[in-house]
Amino acid sequence: MNKLLIEQVRQILSEEDKLAALCNLTALLYSETPNINWVGFYFHKKGKLILGPFQGKVACTQIDIGKGVCGTSFQNKLLLNVSDVHEFPGHIACDSASNSELVIPLTVNNVAVGVLDIDSPLFNRFELEEEETFLEVAKFVSEKLAA
Ligand code: SME
């Protein structure tokens, strides 16, 4: 786990305003994570996942629950580490440069409220250690959302 990054994440999330904190968090993750082309949030609103704070190219604003990597991760409350997105049924290609993707559900009181989504132009980009780092980030974000 990247302890320095986690410490920076905690500092950024100490900002009281949740939206401002998450905006800065995406900027931190984007600048500190090598070989990614998109990082951001989708949040559950009225039966859909709606785009939240992010860094990267313009992305789709609404995702149906159960669709694509994000919708599937959200529906099943399951981390998805997809080494080749082109092999994932129903993958939604927001940026054609993306080849692998890590999606982590955000839960509050065991209810899914959104996802953290990270895309990479490399295949098989996200190794176990990094998966653990982003899991920790998602845990802190979930705590912030619950507060
Ligand atoms: N690829 C995602 C869509 C979101 S973008 O990558 C920003 C998916 O299949 O759910």
Apex 101 CA angle, 59 and 61, nearest 5: 20
Phi, psi of 120 (to 5 degrees): -135, 145
Q: Which of 117, 118, 120 to mutate to test the pocket of ligand 1 (most atoms within 8 A of CB)?
A: 117
Q: Ligand 1 in contact with 70 (CB < 6 A)? A: yes
Q: Ligand 1 in contact with 22 (CB < 6 A)? A: no
What separation in angstroms does the CA of 59 have from each of 35, 51, 119?
18, 8, 11
Domains (ranges, CATH) in the chain? 3-146 (3.30.450.40)
pLDDT tens digits, residue range 58-105? Answer: 999 999 999 999 999 999 999 999 999 999 998 998 888 999 999 999
Q: Ligand 1 in contact with 12 (CB < 6 A)? A: no
> Residue 1: is its pLDDT beyond 80?
no
pLDDT tens digits, residue range 117-146? Answer: 999 999 999 999 999 999 999 999 999 999
Question: Within a 10 A sphere around the Cβ of 142, how many other Cβ atoms?
Answer: 20
Q: Ligand 1 in contact with 63 (CB < 6 A)? A: yes
- Distance CA(104)–CA(26), nearest Å, equals 14
SS3 state of residue 16:
coil
